């Protein structure tokens, strides 16, 4: 026979036939079969040419071998690799050299970054960064208070214009108090004068204006043509600072309050309510001569309202055709944009919480169990208590007097959320009763026993299983009055006792309890096999009955 150079198909076929135990080619990547076999199965290294035998060409299909195989028993050794369940092909040397090994890589190269390329930080580091960021945020917000007092005085420009255009007496509204519940507006006025001929010496510099100060003339101020003056100003009562020589600006001597009735027909539109006020003021000297008031001004921003005043020159005429000059004002009051924004935002949050409480009812109807229901009940109850707090948190909110925001907000929100909580309580009660009934039914089913035909079974009473408190397993020491299972049959037992014993074993077997010896199920006998044959007790013993297959084998034991 002529020998030839073995090929890769012959080598693989021979290895498969002999069950070569070390045919395990392991690599980290699966290369092509041709290159792997070319580098791994070389004839000079694995097999000699004298051992190679020709194989049919059809055996080349064995290259598509399964991922696991077993070697013949003849070639199995103690330390063979027959239990290996995988087959790997070694990659080519070029690919192996191109891919760096894990050992050559550094530890830093093996560290895999998270999916979002974020740097992992420890918990203490994250808390420290959060605290630092919070401190910087609070400090940056607090800077808003630093620049509040460095701007120019509010009335400086107004006073300078009056001094330049028409010097005389000026009334400045230092404070405006709007009380919607009263309803009234209280304005605190300061009596000033602009122009050198009207300013009291050593009193200039009021509100940052060097040409305005306290009046040099005594005055009586009448508000809305009242009979009694609202204020009396006497320049001789103004004290002088002994060290500096300047006049002291004593508020009670140069200021007075005027109360006005407020028109509140738009108060129900909170927070979009607006108010309007008109008033007239007149100044008279101590000799009853009229002194014209050149300007009325007031602050434009208060804590809860924005104020805008327009003044105009007017006069009043008596029956004697006497004319008394006066000064009228129109005051417009409305809420600032920030107050409106927060009120509407709290109104929307209240409705969102109300809808969430309705969603709790829908979800509670769809879920089963008590624990999810309790979560919905707690959340809905918290919403009921949080809605009044949201209502009280509205800026300068009026009382619960039936304003529009309460009619479309607070009252419907409280009603809907309260009804939702009541429905959840009813669902909880229904499920509690269902669980109680189910537990009672289960306990009743456990206490029911099959009827017994034994002579002594009629005297036994059926009691439910007694368990320890906090335990779901029955008591290991039942009381003496507890009903006992039927006694195990003995050679002297009757067929009724054997049947009762088998019935008890079958009932416990069907209930899923452990029964030993196991219950054997027999096929039903035919009518010919089931014919009753008369027998005598002496000839039909239990042993013969069991041998004949008429009764299943049982365990001979003493009384349980």
Do 386 and 323 belong together in one domain? Answer: no
- Whether 456 is in a domain gets the answer no
Through-space distance between the first and last CA atoms of the chain, rounded to whole angstroms: 84
- Domain assignment present for residue 140? The answer is no
Q: How many domains does the chain have?
A: 4
| CA–CA dist 473, 471 (Å, integer) | 6
Print the domain residue range for 321.
Answer: 156-335
**Considering the entire predicted model, what is its pTM?**
0.56
Are 515 and 509 in contact by the 8 Å Cβ rule? The answer is: yes
CB 171 within 8 A of CB 162: no
Does residue 456 register a pLDDT over 50?
no
Q: Is 163 helix (H, G, I), strand (E, B) or coil?
A: helix
Same domain, 180 and 299: yes
Q: What is the CATH number of the domain that holds 166?
A: 2.70.170
165 lies in the same domain as 277: yes
Phi/psi of residue 312, nearest 5 degrees: -150, 155
Q: Is residue 433 located within the same domain as residue 534?
A: no
Residues 188 and 309 in one domain: yes
Q: What is the pLDDT of residue 319?
A: 72
pLDDT tens column, 95-141 = 555 555 545 554 445 455 555 556 677 889 999 999 999 999 999 98
Q: Report the alpha-carbon distance of residue 472 to residue 474 in Å, rounded.
A: 7
My answer on whether omega of the bond before 184 falls inside 30° of 0, hence cis, is no
Query: pLDDT, tens digit, for every residue of 210-232?
Result: 899 999 999 999 999 888 999 99
Residue where a domain stops, chosen among 294, 309, 335: 335
Domain identity same for 265 and 387: no
302 and 282 in a single domain? The answer is yes
Are both 288 and 378 inside the same structural domain? no
Residues 418 and 532 in one domain: no
Strand partners, 118: none
Q: Does 474 fall in a domain?
A: no
Q: Which residue is associated with the tokens 């010919």?
A: 528
CA atoms within 13 A of residue 311's CA, in its CB half-sphere: 17
Residue 548 is predicted with a pLDDT of 66
Looking at the domain assignment, is residue 33 inside a domain? yes
Q: Please tell me whether residues 419 and 558 are part of one structural domain.
A: no
Whether 470 is in a domain gets the answer no
**CA 369/CA 371 separation, integer angstroms:** 6
Tell me 19's DSSP state. T
- Decide which of 48, 79, 98 is a domain's last residue: 98
Residue 443 pLDDT greater than 90, yes or no: no
DSSP letter at 118? P
The pLDDT, as a whole number, for residue 321 is 73
Other beta carbons within 10 Å of 249: 17
Q: How far is CA 436 from the centre of its chain?
A: 32
End residue of a domain, out of 279, 303, 335: 335
DSSP state of 409: I
Q: Do residues 231 and 311 share a domain?
A: yes
Within a domain: residue 176?
A: yes
**Per-residue model confidence (pLDDT) at position 466:** 43
Residue 486: predicted pLDDT:
78
State the chain's maximal CA–CA distance in angstroms: 159
Residues 381 and 289 in one domain: no
In a domain? residue 455: no
Scan for tokens 């199965």, then name that residue.
41
The answer to whether residue 120 is domain-embedded is no
Cα dihedral across residues 331, 332, 335, 336: positive or negative:
negative
More confident residue, 478 or 124: 124
Question: Does the pLDDT of residue 511 top 70, yes or no?
Answer: yes
- Is it the case that residue 62 has pLDDT exceeding 50? no
- How far apart CA 94 and CA 33 sit, in angstroms, is 15
pLDDT interval class at 84 (50, 70, 90): low
Give the Å distances, CA to CA, from 67 to 24, 25, 70, 83, 360.
11, 12, 11, 12, 55
């Amino acid at each position: 026979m002529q020998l030839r150079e073995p090929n890769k198909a012959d080598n693989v076929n021979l290895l498969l036939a002999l069950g070569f135990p070390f045919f395990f080619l392991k690599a980290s990547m699966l290369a092509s079969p041709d290159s792997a076999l070319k580098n791994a199965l070389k004839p000079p290294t694995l097999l000699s040419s004298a051992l190679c035998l020709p194989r049919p060409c059809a055996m080349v299909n064995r290259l598509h071998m399964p991922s696991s195989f077993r070697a013949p028993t003849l070639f199995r050794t103690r330390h063979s690799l027959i239990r290996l369940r995988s087959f790997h092909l070694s990659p080519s040397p070029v690919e192996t050299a191109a891919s760096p090994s894990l050992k050559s890589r550094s530890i830093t190269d093996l560290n895999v970054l998270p999916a979002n390329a974020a740097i992992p930080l420890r918990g203490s580091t994250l808390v420290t960064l959060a605290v630092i960021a919070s401190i910087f945020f609070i400090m940056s917000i607090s800077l808003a208070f630093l620049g509040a007092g460095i701007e120019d005085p509010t009335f400086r420009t107004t006073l300078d214009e009056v001094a330049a255009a028409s010097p005389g007496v000026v009334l400045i509204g230092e404070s405006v108090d709007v009380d919607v519940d009263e309803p009234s507006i209280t304005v605190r006025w300061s009596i000033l004068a602009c122009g050198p001929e009207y300013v009291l010496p050593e009193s200039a510099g009021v509100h940052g204006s060097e040409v305005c100060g306290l009046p040099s003339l005594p005055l009586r101020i009448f508000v809305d043509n009242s009979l009694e003056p609202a204020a009396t100003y006497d320049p001789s009562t103004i004290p002088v600072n002994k060290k500096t020589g300047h006049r002291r600006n004593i508020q009670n001597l140069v200021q007075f309050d005027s109360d006005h009735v407020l028109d509140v027909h738009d108060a129900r539109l909170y927070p979009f309510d607006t108010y309007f006020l008109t008033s007239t003021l007149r100044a008279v000297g101590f000799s009853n001569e009229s002194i014209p008031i050149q300007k009325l001004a007031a602050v434009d921003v208060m804590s809860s309202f924005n104020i805008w005043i327009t003044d105009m020159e007017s006069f009043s005429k008596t029956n004697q055709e006497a004319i008394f000059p006066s000064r009228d004002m129109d005051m417009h009051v409305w809420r600032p944009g920030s107050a409106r924004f927060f009120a509407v935002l709290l109104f929307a949050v209240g409705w969102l919480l109300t809808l969430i409480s309705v969603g709790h009812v829908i979800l509670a109807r769809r879920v089963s169990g008590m624990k999810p229901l309790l979560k919905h009940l707690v959340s809905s109850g918290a919403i009921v208590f949080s809605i009044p707090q949201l209502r009280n948190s509205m800026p300068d909110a009026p009382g619960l007097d039936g304003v529009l925001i309460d009619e479309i907000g607070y009252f419907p929100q409280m009603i809907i959320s309260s009804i939702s909580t009541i429905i959840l309580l009813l669902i909880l009660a229904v499920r509690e009763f269902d669980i109680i009934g189910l537990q009672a039914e289960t306990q009743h089913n456990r206490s029911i026993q099959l009827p017994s035909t034994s002579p002594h079974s009629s005297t036994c009473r059926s009691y439910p299983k007694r368990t320890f408190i906090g335990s779901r397993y029955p008591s290991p020491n039942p009381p003496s009055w507890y009903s006992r299972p039927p006694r195990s049959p003995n050679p002297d037992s009757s067929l009724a006792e054997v049947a009762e014993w088998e019935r008890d074993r079958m009932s416990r077997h069907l209930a899923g309890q452990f029964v030993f010896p196991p219950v054997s199920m027999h096929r039903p006998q035919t009518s010919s096999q089931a014919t009753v044959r008369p027998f005598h007790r002496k000839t039909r013993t239990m042993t013969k009955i069991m041998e004949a297959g008429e009764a299943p084998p049982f365990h001979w034991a003493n009384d349980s």
